[in-house]
Amino acid sequence: MTMKSYFISGIVALVVTLGVIWAAPQILPNAKTLKIEHLDGAPVKSSLYTLNENNEIVPLDFTDIAEKVMDAVVHIKSTHTENYSSRQPQQYRELPDPFRDFFRDDFFDQFFGPPDQRQFPDQPQVRIGTGSGVIINDEGYIVTNNHVISNADDIEVTLHDNRVYKATVIGTDPSTDLALIQVKENGLHSLPFVNSDEVRVGEWVLAVGNPFNLNSTVTAGIVSAKSRNINILRDQYAIESFIQTDAAINPGNSGGALVNLQGGLIGISTAIASPTGSYAGYGFAVPSNIVNKVVDDLFKYGVVQRGYLGVTIRGVDGNLAKEKDLEVNRGVFIDSVAENSAALDAGIKVGDVILKIDDVEVSTAPELQEIIARHRPGDQLNLKIARGKQQLDLKVELKNREGEVKFLAKNREEIFNVLGAEFEDVEKDVAKKLEIEGGVRVKKLYPGKLTKHTEIREGFIITKVDGQVIKNTEELAKALENKKGGVLIEGVYEDLPGDYYYAFGL
């Protein structure tokens, strides 16, 4: 084909192509075309607006505050190792010598098989838990939940920039589920505390933590309610006055930060209310004012010095006001007053209604608990009480939980929390009847070493620890002070004959 022919063919092809492009819309008038528009640098800040402190309309933007807060929230991994023996079951090893002959080898053969066939783990069983923590100053102090690091043999902290440190425990407070730990580092980014009393329902907040091991996760929501009691803490002196939020909180967020839009810490994320174990719309945080008090005590004294009124209470509502024929329909009703308590000394009586504490109105039991929890033994508070048609002003001096106006020693507080029990000295007439020199009664049991590893019952009277005679709670605390390894306690029950032995490890 000649060059001229190529040229003519090209002209024809071009004309045909242009004709098809022109004719297509005419032949298919309903044909659709896909139009895609691309925008560079699309704005992200102007989707929502809010009012600042001067009532000025400003864009609602979480980016700056999220970036600021994430550097102060850490990931915590706690490791707990449980040791087992491959030779014999733990129950057999814990039996005191007088009973070992009774449980012969044929007993274990019957239930566990011959010694060479018994199945017991040869290796230590390692349990790993994860959670979050908040750096509260530049010297490496971190606040988290007690349940995140409880019974841990090893605590590992990972910062937002992936630096990893080992942490030591400064102190714990099961009553509020808080703990203070420290890593050996300076110059860390920390979060400032704000006054949680000033936090308002409906206020925007961010929850920052590590849910499901998803590091540095930020969620947004509002404060849904305050002074919530959800009965989740199992400590005998549990204090629950949570800030409730709808910012998504999941397992792993425990110990993380709940902050306002200025980056101030208003609470430590602690719990969720959920039928599934995952986020269902309700999360709860310990208010920063309680956190501040607990951390300060743990740092100064190694144990929380908490004041107690010594009363059982419930909030007043319309039904209670009608039932008790009260003259008020708000406040906190006194159901009972303990002996040797601060409330009894102040003249508080059953049926009284507490209306104010130091001019702060209280309407619910958690509100009163929170206010009292911020004070120490020896602190004096002014109470306004409704008694019948009268309103009285009373002054109360708080005591510790032992009914004394003094601080508790660290070791005594810690060891009793570890055991999971409340103790009291045995009365002299009871000791005389049982023909013992004295002793310590297990007044009440809670989750701890005693319930986990023994079958001890409330009412048991401890008379010896590792063969050492115990006459009172002070001697019990000293006997267990700095104790490591196995412990054998001996004692009696008032209503059962014979001596009893219980063994556990510390």
Residue by residue, what is the 3-state secondary structure of 118-145? CCCCCCCEEEEEEEEEEECCCCCEEEEE
For 269, phi then psi, to 5°, come to -60, 130
8 Å CB contact between 337 and 350: yes
The structure tokens listed for 389 are 């048609």
Q: Which residues contact 6 (CB under 8 A, 6 or more apart)?
A: none
Q: What is the dihedral of CA 454, 460, 464, 466, to 10 degrees?
A: 0
In single-letter form, the type of residue at position 464 comes to K
CA distance 190 to 145: 17
Are the CB atoms for 350 and 334 separated by under 8 Å? yes
Q: Are 197 and 367 in contact (CB under 8 A)?
A: no
Active site residues: 147, 177, 254
Which one-letter amino acid corresponds to residue 88?
Q
| φ and ψ of 27, to 5 deg | -80, -40
- CA–CA separation, 78 and 76 (whole Å): 6
Half-sphere exposure of residue 460, counting CA atoms within 13 Å on the CB side?
22
- Residue 77, SS3 per DSSP: strand
Q: In a 10 Å sphere around its CB, with 0-12 CB exposed, 13-18 middle and 19+ buried, how is residue 118 labelled?
A: middle
Single-letter amino acid, residue 24:
A
Distance CA(463)–CA(491), nearest Å, equals: 5
Instruction: Give the Cα separation of 138 and 185 in Å (integer).
Output: 8
**How many DSSP H helices and E strands does the chain contain?**
14, 26
